[in-house]
Amino acid sequence: MAPYVTEFDLYEPEHVDGKDAVKQKVAVIGSGSWGTALARIAALNAAEKKGFHPEVRMWVREREIPGKGLLTELINNTHQNSRYLPDVSLPHNLRAVPELADVVKDATLIVLVVPHQFLTPVLETLSKPGVLAPNARAISAIKGVEVAGDQIYTYPSIIEKRLGIPCSALGGANIALEVAHSEFCETTIGVPSPEDAALWHAVFDAPAFRVHPIEDVAGVSLSGALKNVVAMAAGFVDGMGLGGNTKAAILRIGLLEMASFTKEFFPESSSLTFSHHSAGVADLITTSFGGRNRKCAEAFVKTGKSFTQLEHELLNGQKLQGVATAEEVFHFLEARGRLQDFPLFDKVYRISFEDMDPKCLFENL
């Protein structure tokens, strides 16, 4: 079983003739609310810590903002990403860049944080010869899974395979706006080696953003995906006007399904990831009270509108991840003939996609 917290030595840059042998260069791919919040922390740390290139680049999908100009210029001139992270000042060493290849040029530490729907074209560009530095390593903060028939893949495993570089996972009770306002919280990073632990800890650890590395990449990534499905169930509970007892019961049952799912299909993962870490129980709680999946699921029950419409109306360009994950997980369990042991995951799908009455959520739980 993976240890409770990985032991690692704090990152110390190597020196040659009194100078840093390697300057770590951080690139952040994604500039939504979470991408911008993570880029902000990485840039604050890079400006202060030894061994880091001071500029952090963030990939921004270029667009014209009517009456205001190009989005990248707007972010670089105002040092704010007003669309996705309003009223948050960004450090001046964080630079918005529209070309993906320019963002990762010479980068040694690459943070992937696009909504999972948009990862495929990103990986296509990054996998072209010469785009990535040979010593690059990645971390995924993406919450979702990919399913093909009866096979399921986490994003770090997809990234690692496609790009041929080690990939860690970052996840925790981290609502982006709260993190960007420096409200104290924790995050978990699943790492393939102590070296990755040291580097990613150096990139992200901050007084109000405590980073705990563990040797469970799949567990961290999966818990981030599966808790979104449970958070939808929590939203259905809110939509039906039910109280705290019901929601707590749903979270407990959901956490058990998350842990059973991981134990059965990713046996190398540790059950401690769910019970002891921010990526598990803590992320489930915060998302089920303050997340976008919860909010849209509540409105789904109250209004009868589709999730596509609610995403458009309620999220101002941000993306819902739980609906797609509920669908992926349902089809995977169906293909494996294992739906009967995951009644909560099953119901979330049927309520979302098959017009099942939300009151049926509690049957067979």
Ligand X SMILES: O=C(CO)COP(=O)(O)O
Pairing outcome for strands 69-70 and 94-97: unpaired
Count of residues near ligand X by CB under 6 A: 13
In the complex, least distance from residue 235 CB atom to ligand X, rounded to whole angstroms: 9
Using CB under 6 A as the binding rule, the residues of this chain from 291 to 350 that contact ligand NAI are 317-319, 321
Is residue 209 near ligand NAI by the rule CB under 6 A? no
DSSP single-letter state for residue 114? S
For residue 248, what are the CA distances in angstroms to 230, 237, 333, 343, 358?
11, 10, 25, 16, 17
Pick the stretch among 12-20, 27-35, 257-265, 305-313 that binds ligand NAI (CB under 6 A).
27-35
For ligand X, the nearest residue by Cβ is 291
* 65 dihedral zone (left: phi>0; alpha: psi -120 to 50; beta): beta
Q: Estimate to the nearest angstrom the gap between the alpha carbon of 197 and the chain centroid.
A: 17
Looking at the Cβ atoms of 152 and 175, the one nearer to ligand NAI is 175
Residue 227 annotated in active site: yes
- According to the annotation, is 321 in a ligand binding site? yes
- Joined together, the tokens standing for residue 274 give 């769910």
Residue with Cβ nearer ligand NAI (36 or 269): 36
- List 227, 247, 305, 359, catalytic entry: 227
- Report the residue number whose CB is nearest to ligand NAI: 32
Task: Identify which range of 29-37, 42-50, 203-211, 298-306 contacts ligand NAI by CB under 6 A.
Answer: 29-37
**104-120 as b/e, with b when 16 or more CB fall inside 10 Å?**
bbebbbbbbbbbbeebe
Q: Which stretch binds ligand X (CB under 6 A): 96-104, 105-113, 284-292, 340-348?
A: 284-292
The answer to whether the CB of 155 falls within 8 A of the CB of 161 is no
Residues annotated in a binding site for substrate: 143, 292-293
Catalytic residue IDs: 227
